[in-house]
Chain A
Amino acid sequence: MIEKKSRSLLPLTLLIAAALSACSGRGAGNAVPEEGAPNPAADDGKEKLEISLLAPTFKGGGWPDNNHPTIQYLDKKFNIDLKVQWTPGSGYEEKLNVMAASGELPDLFIGYEDTFLKWQSQGVFVDLAPYLKDYPKLASEFPEDMMSILNPPGKIYGFPKYSEPYQASLIVREDWLNNLGLPKPDASKFTVDEFYRIAKAFAKDDPDGDGKADTVGFTLGAAVQDAGFDGGETLEAAFGLANGWKEADGKLVPRQTQSEEWKAYLGFLANAYKEGVLDRDFATNTGDIVKEKAGGGKLGITAQNFTLINRTNKQAQAIDPKAHFVPVAPPIGPSGLRGNAGQTVGDTKIVLNADISEQKRQRVLKLLDWWITEEGSNVMKDSVEGIMYETTSDGTVTLTERGKKEADSLAILNNWFFRSSSLKHDIHQWDDPKLTDEFIAFQNELAKYPWTNPGAPYVVYSPTYIKDAADLNTKFMATAMNIIVGREPVEDIDRAISEWRAGGGDDIIQEVNDAYAKRK
C-alpha cells in the first residue's frame, strides 16, 4: 500500500534543488559579474575546454551520444569537449528551471521569450554587445530588429534563433482529391465552405480507397497556451480572430475578447465535430501525433513547413506510393478574411551563461561565429564529408550509406538550436539545386496572405501575462473545446471571455497597451 505509487516527489525535489543551490547561490552583490573588458586574446585556443549545451528535441529526438561526427568535428576544430544535452522541446523551460534551481545551468542554451526577459535582469546571461566588434559575422548576420527585440537599449543578451516569419502552409493530399474527383482548390476562390466540403469528403468517402472508414477530414492540436489550436491558424484567420492581438484605434486588442468571431469559429468546429469531419481525438493530440497521422496516411488536410512537407510526403509514400501533399492558399472566411500566421522572429535567443570564464566566452563566440559562415553551416546541416556524404570527381554530392540512414537527424543542431539567416539553411548540398527556388517560392506564396500579431513584442512586458496567461488560456480553451464537442452551447464562450477578463485578462490588456504606448 505504501509503495503503491511513487508518491508526489515534486515538492521534495524542489527542496533538494533549493538546498543544493544555496551553496552555489551567487549572492546579491555579484549578480552581474564584470571580469574586465572582453578581449579575444583571453583565449589562445590551446587549452581544451569543456562546453555544455542544452538543445531542444522534436520529432525524431537527439543524437544518442556525444560521439556524433559533427560533434567530433567541432571538438577537434575548436579544441573543445562539447557536451550536448538533449531535452524534449515541450519541456525545455521546465528543464531549465530545474537546472537553474540546482545551480547547474549549461554554458550555452536557449532563452525563450519570457525566460529570456525574466533572467536578463538577474545577470544570468553574458552581455554580448561589447564582444560584437571582434565577431563581425555574428554582429552583421541578423536583421537589426531581430537582434534588439527583448533586449534593453545598448545591451545584447542573446543572438536570435533565425526563422522565417511565415513557416507553415495549409497542405492537402492531392492524390485523395484526384481519387474523389475533386478539383484542387483555386487560390482566388477557396472558401471555408469548400474547405469543409473537401474535409467531409476525406472523412466520409474513403479517399484512400481501402474500403475502410479510417480517415479523418482535418484535425487540430490542443495548443492551449496561445488560446488557439495548433493547425487551426488559417481557419482562425478566416473567421476574423486576431493572431494573438490586433490593432484597433491605436489600441491592442487580444483575441480572447472577440466574442462574435469565436462564436462563428466554434460553431463551425462544433458542426464539423458532430458530423465526424473534425478528428474526434483532437483534444488529446500533440503536435507529433498530428504529424504521425499525416505521415501515416490517415489525415488529408493539415499545416506544415517546407522541410516537413517533403519528409511527410516520403513517409506517406511508404504506405501509398501516390501520396502527395501539396500546399494550398489559406481559405477565405465568411467576411472575406484570410491569412497565414506570421510569427514574431528573434524572440527565441541563444544565450551564454554569465558564470563561464572570459576564455570560454571567447571560445564559444568563435564557435558561433563560425557556425553561421557558409563553411560552418555546411557542417552543421550536412555533418562531415567522407562520413555522411561524398563529393564525386564531377562535383556532385551524394549521401553515403550511413548518411542515408541518418539523413533526417544530420541537421538537428542547426534546425533546433542555432543557424544562419541564409535562405539555404534548410537545403543540403546533395539536394536538387531547384529546391532553393522552390523554398523561396513557398515563402513568397505564404507571405501573400499576411496575418500578423502586432502585440507579440509587448506581451512579455506584462507581469500578469507572464504569471497567469498560461493558466487563463487553459481555462478559456477548456470552454472552447467543450463547446466543440457539444457539451456546452456556443453562447458559453461569453462566460469564458468574462472569466478570462476578470481573472487577469483586463490587467494583461492594460499592461500590454502601456508597453505598446511606450515602445511602439
Chain B
Amino acid sequence: MATTLSKRSTTLTPSASDLPERRRPPLASLKRMTPFYLMILPGLLFFLLFKYVPMLGVVIAFQNYNPFQGFQGSEWVGLQHFRELFQERDFLVLLRNTLWLNLLDLLLFFPIPIVLAVMLGELRSRRMSALIQTVMYAPHFLSWVVIVGVTFVLFSAQSGGVNQLLQAAGLPRLEVLTDPAAFRWVWLLQNIWQGSGWSAILFLAALASINPTLYEASRIDGAGRLRQIWHISLPGLKQLIVILFILRLGHFMDLGFEHILLLQNPLNMSTSDVFDTFVYRKGIVRGDFSYTTAVGLFKSLVGLLLVVMSNKLAARSGQEGVI
C-alpha cells in the first residue's frame, strides 16, 4: 500500500507548479486559452445540440402529445402518465425483469473483463497476448442481428444444428430460445461473448500504466504472481473500476434494447419483457409518445439517483468519484 501512496503523491506534485499561472490577468489568459476553447467548441456544440436541447422534449411526458399539433397545441395532463405507469398491470413484471437482467450483468459480467485483463497482463509472450486480445475483442464488431441469428441457427428447437446432433445422439433437445428460465442466461452469455474482450481493453491500458518498477521491487521482496496481482495490479486498477462501476450504475435501468428484442418471443415474454421493449412496443409501434417518454424519464431518474448515491459512497470510502 505504501508504494501506491507514494506513487500518487508524485503524480500530484506537478499541479502545485500551476498555481502562479492563475494570477495572470483574466483577459490575457483568455487570449492564451482561445485555441483551446475553439478546440472544445465542436464537442460542446454536439452536447448542446444532441444532449441538452432534446431534453426539452421531456415536456411531452406531461402532455397528451400529438405530433400533428406539436408542443404548443398538445393538451397538458400533468402526472397522468406517471400514475398510469405505476398502475400498469405489468409494471412489477417489467421492473423485476429489468432488475434481474441488470443485476446479472452487474455481478457476473462486470468482473469478467477485469479478470481477463489481469490474466492477459500476466502472459509472458507479448505476441500471444496480442493474439488472444484480438480474437477476444473481435465479436464486439458483430451486430446483435448476426449474433442472435447464429444462435438461432445453432439452437432452434427443430432445425438447430445443436439440437439435430442431440436428437441423433438420442438426447433431449435444448429449448433455450423459448424457455423463459433460459432467456436470462442466453442473454448474459451472449453479452459476455460479445463484450468482455472489448471491455478488457480499458483495463489493459490501465495495467500498462502501472510503474514496472513496482513489480521489480516486489519480486526482490519475494512476492509471487498472485501477491503481485493482489498488491499491485488490482490496486492500480481500483480507481478505474470504481469510476466504471459508477457509470455503469447510471445505466442501471437500461439494457441493450435490440438484443433483447431479437431474442424475445411470446414464449419467453414472462422474463424477457423489460422497460426498453415496452417503450418500443407502446411508443414506436403504437405511437403513444407521451406515455413512453414518461417511462423513459422514470428510468433516467432512477439512473441519476443511483449515480449520485454510488458517487457519495465512493467519496466516503476515500475514492475519487465522477462528479
Contacts and interface: CB of A to CB of B under 8 A. Distances in A.
Query: Which of B55, B244, B257, B295 has the largest number of chain A CB atoms within 10 A?
Result: B257
Interface string B253-291: 011111100000111011000001001110111111100
Contacts of A477: 266
B68 A279 contact: no
Contacts of B66: 122
Nearest to B168: A213
Query: Which of B157, B288, B292 has the largest number of chain A CB atoms within 10 A?
Result: B157
A93 B156 CA distance: 29
A367 B276 CA distance: 42
B191 interface: yes
Interface stretch (A4-12, A237-245, A331-339, A420-428): A4-12
B254 A7 contact: yes
A27 B152 CA distance: 48
Given A21-B67, A122-B68, A471 B281 contact: yes
A25 interface: yes
Contact of A25 (B53, B73, B177, B259): B73
A26 B296 contact: no
Given A2-B247, A27-B73, A485-B175, 13 more contacts: A1-B247, A3-B198, A6-B258, A7-B254, A10-B257, A11-B300, A14-B283, A25-B73, A31-B69, A100-B67, A100-B287, A103-B67, A216-B158
Given A1-B244, A19-B53, A122-B66, A10 B280 contact: yes
B178 interface: yes
A15 B281 CA distance: 16
Contacts of A12: 54
Interface residues of B, number: 68
B67 A284 contact: no
Contacts of B68: 25-26, 31, 100, 119, 122-124
A97 interface: yes
A453 interface: no
Contacts of A470: 281, 285-286
B70 A8 contact: no
| Interface of chain A: mostly helix, strand, loop or mixed | helix
Contacts of A115: 287
**A-B CB proximity, top 9 nearest:** A25-B70, A11-B296, A15-B57, A280-B158, A5-B256, A280-B157, A28-B73, A18-B57, A97-B287
A15 B287 contact: no
Nearest to B260: A8
Contacts of A122: 66, 68-69
B69 A5 contact: no
Given A2-B247, A93-B285, A15 B55 contact: yes
Interface string A70-108: 000000000000000000000001100110110100000
A24 B70 CA distance: 7
B89 interface: yes
Nearest to B198: A4
A21 B267 contact: no
B248 to A, nearest CB: 6
A110 to B, nearest CB: 15
A98 B248 CA distance: 29
A283 B267 contact: yes
A118 B289 CA distance: 14
A1 B73 CA distance: 42
A481 B295 CA distance: 29
A27 B69 contact: yes
Interface string A396-438: 0000000000000000000000000000000000000000000
A119 B320 CA distance: 53
A15 B297 CA distance: 11
A8 B247 contact: no
B89 A503 contact: yes
Nearest to B285: A94
Nearest to A480: B266
Given A2-B244, A25-B73, A474 B266 contact: yes
B130 interface: no
B199 interface: yes
B4 to A, nearest CB: 23
A118 B286 CA distance: 11
A10 B279 contact: yes
Given A18-B57, A470-B286, A482 B267 contact: yes
B267 A98 contact: no
B237 interface: no
